Chains A and B, each alone.
Chain A
Amino acid sequence: MKERVRPLIIGAGPAGIRAAEALVDAGIKPVVVDEAPLGGGQIYRQRIVPDERTARDLYGSEAGKATALHKTLAGLQDRIDYRPRTLAWNIRDNIADVMTDGRGGRIPFSHVILSTGATDRVLPIPGWTLPGVFTLGGAQIALKSQGCAIGEQIVFLGSGPLLYLVAWQYMKAGGHVAAVLDTAPLSAKFHLLRGLLLYPGIVVRGIRYVADLMARGVKVRFGIEPVRIEGDTQVKGLVWRDRGTDHHIACDAVGYGFALRSETQLADLAGCQFVFDKRDRAWQPVCDGAGRSSKPGIYLAGDGVRISGADSAELAGERAGLALIEDCGFPVDKVRIEVLERRLNRVQRFRGILEQAFPFPESLVRSLADDVLLCRCEEVSIGNVRSSAQKFDITDLNRLKALTRVGMGRCQGRVCGSGAAEILAHASGRSLEDVGRLRSQPPIKPLPLDLSSDGEAA
């Protein structure tokens, strides 16, 4: 009976909202928890209050998708049990431990769809903890959600599609973009020509961003190596290396990142198996094409399982919802499933191309100096990691954590984990796959000690 099915969806971004919609269409009422006060995820994040900007100003070419998604969620409100401002901080044995506005609770569920999204993948670079340095995603949120630029003279640095998108958005919004510095060589971009066949619109738009930036006189450089971000108490400048020559640029803010990394902690806590994903350079939860994890009743969708972007997340969310419905023995539209799977496959082919166009800067990992901070929370340096790895013959990321405190702080390794894996792999002469992944521990985010423990938030 449908009343006995009580699914929980964690995350109300593109994947979560489409999953909820699919369930509601089948007559099932899910609980949807989301940390943000308003749904949409990070990519289609909504403002706390409306301001003078239009949806087009905020979301650019994706305004239609963003608005449609927000409308869908608004339309679902009466038919889902929607809990915004709610952190799911632990999940185990069909119960999610949650916190809403500082109050604790437990949500029992029959099935769960984890659509937990992604954050920027970063590598430590000298000066990266200075005020004024934000992730690319952070820079985008400051602009989109708060209408603020991260500085007056901004350098965008790193690699990945977000690099150009954010720089372009800043330029459009009236921010001053001092430079866009891409660690990937220009030659790598020719891979995008193959992408033209799959998604001509996206590729052409990307090229337009770069052209627009250049036309406005923004310094765009390819194949560079970041040397350091300068400043004592805030960003004053940035030095990068281009074919052996160091260049300096004055700036008061840096937005940077090297593509994205999946938020997989809840999948880990839920007991899902993980597998190493070469493309994402990370251990990711095992997931079939329909969103089924290795554990019955646990479904995964969107960037939280594999970095695939917002369009893919919408498709994957719907597909996971349908898988759940199907697994409960209810009828599903097979034609629709075929369409979704075909589209999802196409996205995966395109992601492979993007990865070649914006390759991860492996050489940076080798050249990072020992005194650079790796773990921002516990303030552990790269040198400490390298020497401990040597002294204790460390070959495993959890062992590294135990012996150096890397990933032990407030963020639980979300920020430094991928960099730590790269550095340990290099220091120990092992593959990224071999050094493993940080075992997740609850709570995935800090909890107040006086959090109420008053039972089921039913």
Chain B
Amino acid sequence: MALLKRLVRQNYPEVPFTLDGVSCVGRSGDTVLTAVLTHADRLRHSDFSKSPRAGFCQMGSCQDCWILTADGRRIRACATILEPGMTLLTGLE
């Protein structure tokens, strides 16, 4: 279930991206965190116990909101602006 509830920018231009192989649509002005968590309940799994994580501080400090891109990079979701065509993975590595 989605974590975040969008209150504004409902009809802003669509920004398509892929999450775990599924086509999704974010809105112009979204961070990656917003785009993913308005569709899903997690961004990644913790490094050791593999428990789901979905960010914490949203201001680039806690480093909890890393998400994997299809090309193997990790990006900080709260500080990265969603770009069209991003391919993101929440799955276990």
On A, residues with C-beta under 8 Å from B are 35, 37, 42, 47-49, 51-53, 119-120, 129-135, 137-139, 141-143, 146-152, 173-175, 233-234, 252-253, 263, 376-379, 409-411, 414-415, 445-446, 448
A234 and B41 within 8 A (CB): yes
B56 and A134 within 8 A (CB): yes
Q: Mark B36-55, 1 if CB is under 8 A from A, else 0.
A: 01100110001111011111
Q: Is the interface of A mostly helix, strand, loop or mixed?
A: loop
A151 and B53 within 8 A (CB): no
Q: Which of B4, B52, B56 contacts A233 (CB 8 A)?
A: B52
Expressed in whole angstroms, the Cα–Cα distance for A120 and B56 within the complex equals: 10
- By size class, the interface of chain B is 35 or more
Known A-B contacts A48-B81, A234-B41, A379-B47; the reply to A411 vs B4 at CB < 8 A is no
Known A-B contacts A131-B41, A131-B52; the reply to A35 vs B62 at CB < 8 A is no
B66 and A142 within 8 A (CB): no
- Those 9 A-B pairs whose CB atoms lie nearest each other, nearest first: A147-B8, A131-B54, A49-B29, A138-B58, A410-B63, A148-B4, A149-B5, A141-B58, A411-B63
Chain B residue nearest to A139 (CB atoms) is B58
Chain B residue nearest to A138 (CB atoms) is B58
A23 to chain B minimum Cβ distance, whole angstroms, is 26
Q: Which of B12, B41, B42, B54 contacts A49 (CB 8 A)?
A: B12
B3 and A234 within 8 A (CB): yes
B25 CB–A CB distance under 8 Å: no
Q: Which of A35, A48, A134 contacts B55 (CB 8 A)?
A: A134
Q: Mark B52-78, 1 if CB is under 8 A from A, else 0.
A: 111111111111101000000100001
Which residues of chain B (1-28) have a CB below 8 Å from chain A? 1, 3-9, 12, 28
Contacts of B79 in A (CB 8 A): 35
B41 and A233 within 8 A (CB): yes
Q: How many A-B residue pairs have CB under 8 A?
A: 139
A151 and B3 within 8 A (CB): yes
B1 to chain A minimum Cβ distance, whole angstroms, is 7
B83 CB–A CB distance under 8 Å: no
B7 and A174 within 8 A (CB): yes
A125 to chain B minimum Cβ distance, whole angstroms, is 13
B59 and A138 within 8 A (CB): yes
A53 and B8 within 8 A (CB): yes
A229 to chain B minimum Cβ distance, whole angstroms, is 13
Contacts of A378 in B (CB 8 A): 47-48
B31 CB–A CB distance under 8 Å: yes
Chain A residue nearest to B66 (CB atoms) is A410
7 contacts between A and B (CB under 8 A): A131-B3, A131-B42, A141-B59, A142-B34, A147-B9, A151-B5, A234-B54
Among A47, A173, A379, residue most surrounded by chain B Cβ atoms (within 10 Å)? A379
Contacts of B48 in A (CB 8 A): 378-379
Chain B residue nearest to A142 (CB atoms) is B58
Contacts of A377 in B (CB 8 A): 47, 63-64
Chain B residue nearest to A52 (CB atoms) is B8
A137 and B58 within 8 A (CB): yes
B62 and A415 within 8 A (CB): yes
